[in-house]
Amino acid sequence: MTVPHITLNDGFTIPQLGFGVFRVEPEETERIVSDALEVGYRHIDTAAIYGNEIGVGRAIAASGIPRDELYITTKLWNSDQGTQSAFDAVDLSLEKLQLERVDLYLIHWPVPKRDLYLESWLALEQIRENGKTTSIGVSNFQIEHLERVIAGSSTVPAVDQIELHPAFPQLPLRTFARGTGIAIEAWGPLGQGKYDLFSMAPIAEAAAELGKTPAQVVIRWHLQSGIIVFPKSNSRARMAENFDVFDFELSAAQISAIDALDENMRVGSHPDEVS
Ligand code: NAD
């Protein structure tokens, strides 16, 4: 199965569908990521704060998959924002992942109260120059944070990874990102199972019409909306289900009906409140 790739603003490409490992227990991570690689995922999204980079690294090493066929993202945690602390943090992440470089390194949250995100962004530019990551981006940045790093550096972030699902489609941020060439990655793409997305009528009806599951419909909505997406599941059956989304399409009417589910409802924290 061929996963489509999106070309980022630095010319590098990213598989549009991947596998996320938030809340995957460290001792289970090697097995779960190995399952995901066997199912066919080649894009793994982790973070220093998830505490499972060692397991991700072990699964990659054990897989025997050539490095250039894999796309690995990790993230700078909030308490490591700054210059030297960011340099140290990426080195530690690379050591745990058993990699010489990641494909994408992100600032995890802006933490505006500490006001270190611009300095950290300049550090990420150097980390990229030093060959420790191919691309650099941000996560949970709002328009004002993006404007500041764009104005204060010579790099437009390749991606902004934000909470995004049908009940919280983040239209203003997506419009800004489109205008500035930033690709959008969705976290919590299935709403983290925190509310009943799957029984909402436009999703349930599209699933019934197409003979697909509601999760597959939601993933397809992300893909057809141009969003990079990496749903998480510990279950191999669900990993396979979430990967099996390339033999059908939602109609324009089905997409519009799901678009109309916008409730401006977060399931996660507001970026201004995370420190
Ligand atoms: P998600 O929306 O992917 O939801 C995961 C939950 O959905 C699973 O625990 C499971 O209960 C359920 N699920 C998965 N597949 C299903 C299926 N086929 N049918 C029914 N239920 C299913 O939420 P997430 O894990 O928070 O987000 C995905 C990834 O995004 C994370 O693993 C992580 O890599 C990333 N993330 C980033 C941030 C950030 O701040 N940058 C925050 C949260 C998550």
- Give CA–CA dist 17/183, Å, rounded: 13
From the candidate CATH numbers 3.30.43.10, 3.20.20.100, 2.40.110.10, 3.40.50.300, the one assigned to the domain spanning 10-196+226-237? 3.20.20.100
pLDDT tens, position by position, 6-21: 999 999 999 999 999 9
With a CB cutoff of 8 Å and minimum separation 6, the contacts of 14 are 5, 6, 8, 43, 71, 103, 104, 135, 159, 183, 228
Residue 19 identity: F
CA of 267 to the centre of ligand 1 (A): 11
**Ligand 1 site-directed mutation target among 33, 105, 190, most atoms within 8 Å of CB:** 190
Question: What is the C-alpha to C-alpha distance for residues 78 and 86, in angstroms, rounded to an integer?
Answer: 10
193 within ligand 1 shell (Cβ under 6 A): yes
Burial of residue 73 (number of CB atoms within 10 Å: 0-12, 13-18, 19+) = buried
Nearest residue (CA) to ligand 1, atom 10: 233
How many whole angstroms from 46 Cα to the centroid of ligand 1? Answer: 12
pTM, rounded to two decimals: 0.98
Residue by residue, pLDDT tens for the chain (275 residues) are: 689 999 999 999 999 999 999 999 999 999 999 999 999 999 999 999 999 999 999 999 999 999 999 999 999 999 999 999 999 999 999 999 999 999 999 999 999 999 999 999 999 999 999 999 999 999 999 999 999 999 999 999 999 999 999 999 999 999 999 999 999 999 999 999 887 899 999 999 999 999 999 999 999 999 999 999 999 999 999 999 999 999 999 999 999 999 999 999 999 999 999 99
Interval 209-245: pLDDT, tens = 999 999 999 999 999 999 999 999 999 999 999 999 9
Q: How far apart are CA 88 and CA 80, in angstroms?
A: 8
Residue ranges per domain, the chain? 10-196+226-237
Continuous H helices in the chain = 26-39, 53-63, 84-97, 117-129, 143-152, 171-180, 201-210, 214-224, 236-243, 252-259
Tell me the C-alpha distance between 105 and 158, whole Å.
10
